Amino acid sequence: MATCVKLKVNGKDLIATLQEFYRSVVASPMADQILAPMLPANGSMVMPTLTEDPDMLAAADPLAPSFPLNSAKMVCRLTRTDPGGEIAAVMRPCEIRAFVELVKLKQGSFDRLLIIGMDCLGAFRNRDYLKFVATNGKDSSRQFYSQALAAKPDADPSDQLAPACRFCDQPTAANADVVVALWGLDCEQEIMIYSQSDKGARLLEALNLETASLPDARERYLQSLTDKRKQLRQQMYADTTAATGGIDKLGAYFCACVNCYNCRVACPVCYCRECVFVTDAFDHEPSRYMAWARRKKAVKMPTDTIFYHLTRLAHMSLACVGCGQCSNACPNDIPLAEFFCTVAADTQKAFDYPAGSDPRAKPPLTEFREDEFSEIVGID
């Protein structure tokens, strides 16, 4: 049975309340170290940081609109083999979904891991976050979460949010051991934490916090919020489909691609140790380029950009969790997240496989089902 507890927010300082919660997690028998978003002493970008020192958690800032990388890869790095202790990881919903997919691919493990999910308020693109911090200084995170939590659920999300966050319709965490609930609560007074697993229930019992029940207002708030996000998502699908229908439109969509492959590196579910695109497979002879230019009158350089993105799409669309890190990493602001999410929506619907939602569901291309696509394969 799920356990739910509440934390009083002292002095309306939500971040300090969460920092104290993290300290109690590290002090409990459930975790030896914690991976949490923290502001480095010599930096301005909040990054996933592993520590066992309670004093270091004074730099934890889980509500900053900073999302420089999807931490699922970092959690895999910590859990691929036995870490020698218990690890707690603070993760956004899309990070948890990505981790679920990576565990299925034997890249990480739920063993010796406690996942602390967070209601996600969204994040800015990297450059926008740095500008936001430069303008608002040390009060930037407080200003962001105050505005986000005070907004009406059916209002348009902030234009400053990264596009993937604006149309994200999964703003709360599934498959976490415990979830920090923020949406639909009076977070100036209290927040709630509830368990989604036996491990999470044991943690909350060990912390000996006051039990509570999630208010009905939370469910109504989340429903209104997700309904609005789904409308935005459907409009994004329509706009992206119109912008990419046909090879000529695809060429225009990806015309600014410089083959930096940042999107491949940033993608949490792209896990290959070696990618064919960073081998010499596409290092063509000079005469080949000359021949192409002669035949076509002109050839855009680099030449393999559309092929690269379509290949990545074929590999990753069934595992795409819509985190938006591909767009965040693009130096030329190509709307990669919109393209990937649009195609992934159709692919995952065809296989009835929403990526990252069910840890027990096998990836579609790893098993054969006789009753699948009978209209295509001709098996009655």
* pLDDT, mean of residues 183-211: 95
Query: Where in the chain are the domains?
Result: 4-232, 247-377
State the Rg of the chain over Cα: 22
pLDDT on residue 280: 84
Q: CA nearest 154: which of 76, 209, 216, 232?
A: 232
pLDDT on residue 165: 97
Cis status of the peptide bond prior to 302, with omega within 30 of 0 = yes
* pLDDT, mean of residues 114-125: 97
Q: What percent of the chain has pLDDT over 90?
A: 84
Q: Give the model confidence (pLDDT) of 287-340 as tens digits.
A: 999 999 999 999 889 988 999 999 999 989 999 999 999 999 999 999 999 999
Q: CA nearest 235: which of 98, 313, 126, 345?
A: 345
Least confident of 52-61, 252-261, 278-287, 292-301: 278-287
* pLDDT, mean of residues 96-118: 97
By CB neighbour count within 10 A (0-12 exposed, 13-18 middle, 19+ buried), where does 156 fall? exposed
pLDDT on residue 107: 95
Decide if pLDDT at 374 tops 80. no
Q: Give the model confidence (pLDDT) of 216-250 as tens digits.
A: 999 999 999 999 999 999 999 999 999 999 999 99
CA distances from 86 to 52, 91, 193, 345, 357 (A): 11, 16, 20, 36, 24
pTM over 0.85: yes
Q: Other C-beta atoms within 10 Å of 266: how many? A: 21
Decide if pLDDT at 47 tops 80. yes
pLDDT on residue 41: 83
Least confident of 113-122, 148-157, 178-187, 254-263: 148-157
Q: Give the model confidence (pLDDT) of 3-33 as tens digits.
A: 999 999 989 999 999 999 999 999 999 999 9
33-38 and 87-91 beta bridge pairing: parallel
Half-sphere exposure of 99 (CA within 13 A, CB side): 32
Half-sphere exposure of 42 (CA within 13 A, CB side): 0
Decide if pLDDT at 377 tops 80. no
* pLDDT, mean of residues 164-170: 96
Decide if pLDDT at 62 tops 90. yes
pLDDT on residue 380: 62
Decide if pLDDT at 71 tops 80. yes
Q: Hey, what are 197's tokens?
A: 């697993």
Convert 13-22 to b/e letters by CB count within 10 Å (16 or more is b).
ebbebbbbbb
